[in-house]
Structure 1
Amino acid sequence: MITPKFTCSQTESSVIVSIYCPSIRAADVEIHIDETLATIHVNPYFLRLNFSKPLVEDNDSAAKYDPSSGYLIVTLTKEYRGERFEDLDLLAKLLVPRRTANVTPTIEVLTSEDAGLENLDEVNGLVEQTENLTVNDDELVKAAENDWQLTQNLSEESGPQLQTSPQAQYGFLDLHSGYLRHAAHTENEINELGTDAEVCTSVERSARRVAHENEKFDEEHYIADFMDDYEIQEMMEWPQPHVGDAGPFEYRESENLVIMTLPRREYLPTPVQTHNLYLVLITLLFSYTYDTRITQHEPTSESPWTICNLTPAFSALDPPRSSSYQSGPHKFTSEEVKETFIPSYRRSLAFPLYRSFALAEKCRHDVGWLLKRGRRTITRCLLEMKHILDHHDVYYIYSKIWVDDFCVWIQSDAHDEILEQLGEVILTTEMRKMSIGWDLKELEDLALESPGGPSDSDDESSNEN
């Protein structure tokens, strides 16, 4: 079945779905409503939408086809007139399957005292039968096979998980593997794990990433950019368009077409996994804003390389993980924000052409403001990143294992309130040069004291410790 191009709007009493499905038989249209779930089928097109509020089938529901334009206009009646349906422009969220409620069985444990003395023999008999059960008993196996809704929780403090397979998982929520199996033969220049990418543990990935950053940091390059920063200052003064645009947001048709091609998965992360996803998002946006600034929003052939090199989750399969997460509502601290940004700062000072702490600071502020703009703006940035990576012969795999899933998750599961709080913490967090690990302040002081004198740089962060 083909998922057609569609848009949604609403009136006081209805939700209107406009579906582009040329050359169909209008008489064959089938519409089914199941509370919040609407299914529309007309051969060869199939559309299943999961709305935030319930719908009903009544005489006001209708479908009208215009053969000249190829659009099928479906009118669905709201169960409660005047109720506002949220996020009708977030197509990825509408396409996500409806979640099944977790059914946790309620079990009452009876002791021999509860049963009474007159039933003691019966209770003891049941206990004896239970103890004699084995995993081969047909009844037990049947019960286990059908008990798929039981909630299974792993302790967040249980330490590293047992590695039962040499195949390592990576990418969004560790859902992926195998993409880097032939990395040695694909000219993947940003892969820092080499042929071990499919087997490295998270600890090994972090160690290799740090070692590679230390190896690539060039003191002379850093000093040169610090002393002669005319171009960097121009990049820093360039206004980020997604931050400055205060008009009403509306997805472009080209963006909606890409959203339609995204995977339709239901993500069920644990609270700590969800917390970490917000931190990974920081690093993706940092790489995006860096490339956006140095190209002034006109990506070049070097943009895929730049974005991938600056993203630890891509180059070393090493996404940030919170070391101070507390269960409960997602609240972010300056300390974990600093820990998240340090690898991104280090990479921006070790790999690309322009290596400036002040430029990294500007990118951090861009990230903070983008997060405060909410899910829609962030999705637009991620779609632009996806477009850049998808058109590269090798680096498109990082779009598949990270960006695609992030585009869906941002629309379906992220919350604007959390994004805004995270953005505020980022904007008020102070990043210090001494935390980067390369004695940046000493290098700058030596450069300023050298013959020739200081440049006329207005690097306002040069006096930081």
Structure 2
Amino acid sequence: MITPVFELTQNPDFLTITIKVPYSRVSEFEVYFEGKEFKFYAKPYFLRLALPGRIVEDGRERASYDDDTGMFTVHLPKEIPGEMFEGLDMLTALLAPKKSRSAKPLVEEMASGADNEEDMEEEEEFDWEIEQTLYEESRETLLCSTCTYGFGNQKSGVFSRLQDELNDVIDIKNPDLTPAVERREKRLAAEAAKFDPDHYLADIFEDEVICHLLKYKPWWVKAYATKMSPQEGSPWNESNQPALVSFTEDEKEQLRKFTNKTFLLDKRTCHQVYLSLVDILLAYCYEVYATEGEKNVESPWNIRKLSSTLCWLESFTSFSEVLISFGRRVLCYPLYRHFSLVTRALSDTSMILQLGKSAVLKCLLDIHKIFRENDPAYILNDLYITDYCIWIQKAKSKKLAALAERVQKAELSKAKLGFELDELEAAALLVQEEEKELKAAGADVSKQQLAPSEGEASDSEDSSSTSSYETGDSDSDEQESSASEDGKINPLQSTLQEERTAPLIDCNGLRRDTGALTLDVGNEKSKASLQSTSAPGKLIEELGKQMQTAIRLTEQPEGLPSVSGGGGGTSQEMGTSCITQPQGLSKDHNGKRHFLEVTPKPGTFLFLGTTKEAP
């Protein structure tokens, strides 16, 4: 038989069951209901429900079928008008469990009345403040027993058959041979080795992205705000009291696929199940904020990495252990490692728990889908999430409310995480203040240096014509060319130009400065090289046409031939032709000073230090 798609709604007087049965014959429909039991049959569909409240057959019941949509709708009157049935969206829990085929079940779940159920809830309330210690087994007992894990620690030996997928799912090695105490020790050591102070400080002082993520509002924030401010002044009906949490069609389909079963948990194990539920929800809330509700390929990694229950198969014994474990892992593993994300996940987990079983179930279904679509993470569904989805539908509402209140009052400080975060942040702030002081001092020095330099700006502008000659040959050549075109020479400019280009003459008539230009008048090769230097050669020739000078040596050392204004005889004796030192002082090898003076002489012109008669 096929379990059809179904949905339950209610108003103060009726319970409405909608069943989708396409391609069925109307004549073959069979409906049976009595008390809390409801049965429906239309070949090949069969549905059997255990209702959360009692219904009655009093003549007001009615049913209809829409042939176009294939929807069969049944309206059943409530035994107590105005009674609110809880858990109508817990579809898995509504499906009646499969009965055993044996003659007598070995373990039977005893049903109790509504009054007795409330008394049992009050008696079984947990004191969340009590610290529990793990039972210490002897070494011989550990060797003989297998290590358990999974929902309610009811599974063992799973990873011995899944060695290939082990490293991609959990961090613990050999979980089937590692007891719970050793798992925790290894987890704490791994977290201490993974913590990166630089990454943590970077997220603190450069928190633009973190602030942006914290502005995101998940769906449960709006639902919680609606619950805290309900509409007043009108009686209850579906129009003014909409459901705070609704399931999608995919989520409903997944709920129908689950097999309804009962979990037999003792008080200690049930306490661990609730604590692990908080741990999983904390990791899920962080993932929602980190991706802003848009799941990606990192989503399954974020959830299982931040949850010690899923990553290290941890079994918690106190509520503080859950918070410290989650806080440490947030600061060690994910991309965003900020303490504000820890506190935000804690407050949002409290909201989800206060919204009730529907909100918790919706989050678990989302986690189930994320793991189902990831190849290695599906193992965690089999170990934890599937059983959590089934178990939460039957969880006690008062216990869930007590857990939500405990989470809401929880406080977690940085000092409890064990990474010396306060000292680390204080040291970083001191370094930051020192850097600011150094930058301020550097700015003051630069301002002081800038003041005199601005005062000298006018002087540098006045001497721009002089400094332009010192910057490069191209600038001086352009200025000399412009001067030759006008037919006038600035004496100061010609003097500076000669100081830049004229070499010193030693006792042998050779230049000392290798950067100066020398020329052998009698050597044709030298003449060719002179002509190859286009800019200086043309400039000097042009200068010779415009200016006629005579060179007079006022003081010369003994042994040096004099430079006369005659033909090329003097140039042949020296072997080289050189540019004479301009007006100013220079020294030869004997320490005598030469003073060179340029005076005009008709009929002559200057050609690289030698004088030639004008043609």
For the aligned pair, the TM-score class normalised by the smaller chain equals 0.7 to 0.9
Shift of 1:289: 1.0
AA matched with 1:189 = D
Aligned match of 1:378: 360
Shift of 1:273: 2.7
2:266 to 267, 270, 286: 270
Q: Does 1:362 align with 2:344?
A: yes
1-side partners of 2:160 and 2:196: how far apart? 31
Corresponding residue SS for 1:36: strand
AA matched with 1:339 = E
2-side partners of 1:73 and 1:50: how far apart? 17
Corresponding residue SS for 2:6: strand
AA matched with 2:298 = E
Shift of 1:183: 4.1
Map 1:35-434 onto structure 2 (within 5 A): 35-56=35-56, 60-61=60-61, 63-95=63-95, 97=97, 159=135, 166-186=145-165, 188-194=167-173, 196-245=174-223, 246-247=225-226, 248=242, 249=244, 250-322=246-318, 336=319, 338-415=320-397, 417-434=398-415
AA matched with 2:420 = D
Corresponding residue SS for 1:305: helix
Contact 2:133-2:317 within 8 A present in 1 as well:
no
Corresponding residue SS for 2:294: coil
Alignment RMSD: 3.1
2-side partners of 1:283 and 1:306: how far apart? 13
AA matched with 1:234 = H
Shift of 1:160: 5.6
When normalised by structure 2's length, the TM-score is: 0.58
Distance change (3 Å), C-alpha of 1:3 and 1:454 = farther
Shift of 1:318: 0.6
Aligned match of 2:427: 446
Question: What are structure 1's unaligned runs of at least 5 residues?
Answer: 101-144, 323-335, 456-465
Distance change (3 Å), C-alpha of 1:439 and 1:44 = same
Contact 1:166-1:199 within 8 A present in 2 as well:
no
1-side partners of 2:27 and 2:145: how far apart? 55
Shift of 1:265: 1.3
Distance change (3 Å), C-alpha of 1:43 and 1:305 = same
Shift of 1:310: 0.4
Larger RCO, structures 1/2 (Cα 8 Å, 6+ apart): 1
Contact 1:188-1:394 within 8 A present in 2 as well:
no
Distance change (3 Å), C-alpha of 1:272 and 1:96 = farther
- Which string of whole-angstrom CA distances, capped at 9 and with x for unpartnered residues, describes residues 166-217 of structure 1? 54332111233454334431264341123x1233222222222222212222
1-side partners of 2:2 and 2:176: how far apart? 34
Shift of 1:352: 0.9
Question: What are structure 2's unaligned runs of at least 5 residues?
Answer: 111-131, 227-241, 437-615
AA matched with 1:433 = K
2-side partners of 1:305 and 1:157: how far apart? 30
When normalised by structure 1's length, the TM-score is: 0.75
2-side partners of 1:387 and 1:352: how far apart? 21
**4+ runs of 1 displaced by more than 6 Å?**
161-165
AA matched with 1:51 = L
Corresponding residue SS for 2:261: coil
AA matched with 1:215 = A
AA matched with 1:367 = T
Shift of 1:4: 1.2
Range with greater deviation from structure 2 (364-373 or 279-288): 364-373
Distance change (3 Å), C-alpha of 1:443 and 1:190 = farther
Aligned match of 2:5: 5
AA matched with 1:286 = L
2-side partners of 1:454 and 1:5: how far apart? 67
Question: Which structure has the larger Rg over C-alpha atoms?
Answer: 2
Contact 1:99-1:266 within 8 A present in 2 as well:
no
Aligned residue-pair number: 391
